[in-house]
């Protein structure tokens, strides 16, 4: 659930590899059509950039899916991940790390 709106969502993203309790093949048969739906042109926001522009997305309810069609022009991206609320499932249970530590990607700034 979205921590501010309470809206239900399915948070899989393009990195989801497997659904707990299912085999890799069973998981793919569920995840692939969901990912294909999310990335359909009618579900994708295309942004026409202007100089000095900043665009922010709330990745709690959106999925970043960059299309490589900038005609070999320079593209500069600064990605910032804001530490925030732990996602909560519809049953009220907080998400947790199953495996690994991502802290080596970017240090978390002390607040």
The per-residue pLDDT for 105 is 55
Cβ neighbours around 19 below 10 Å, total: 15
| Model confidence pLDDT, tens digit, residues 36-93 | 888 888 888 888 878 888 888 777 777 776 666 777 777 777 766 666 677 777 677 8
Over range 96-106, report the average pLDDT.
61
The pLDDT value recorded for residue 61 is: 74
- Measured distance CA(55)–CA(62) in Å, rounded: 13
pLDDT on residue 107: 56
**Choice among 5-19, 23-37, 73-87 with the minimum mean pLDDT:** 73-87
How far is Cα 111 from Cα 102, in angstroms, rounded to an integer?
A: 19
In this prediction, residue 2 carries a pLDDT of 74
Closest CA to 30 of 60, 50, 10: 10
Distance of alpha carbon 87 from alpha carbon 94, whole angstroms: 6
């Amino acid at each position: 659930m979205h921590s501010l709106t309470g809206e239900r969502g399915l948070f899989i993203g393009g990195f989801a590899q497997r659904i707990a309790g299912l085999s890799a093949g069973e998981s793919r048969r569920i995840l692939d059509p969901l990912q294909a739906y999310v990335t359909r042109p009618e579900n994708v926001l295309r942004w026409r950039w202007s100089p000095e522009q900043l665009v922010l997305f709330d990745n709690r309810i959106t999925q970043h899916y960059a299309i490589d069609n900038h005609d070999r022009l320079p593209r500069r991206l600064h990605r910032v991940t804001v530490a925030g609320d732990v996602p909560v499932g519809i049953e009220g249970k907080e998400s947790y790390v199953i495996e690994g530590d991502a802290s080596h990607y970017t240090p978390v700034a002390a607040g």
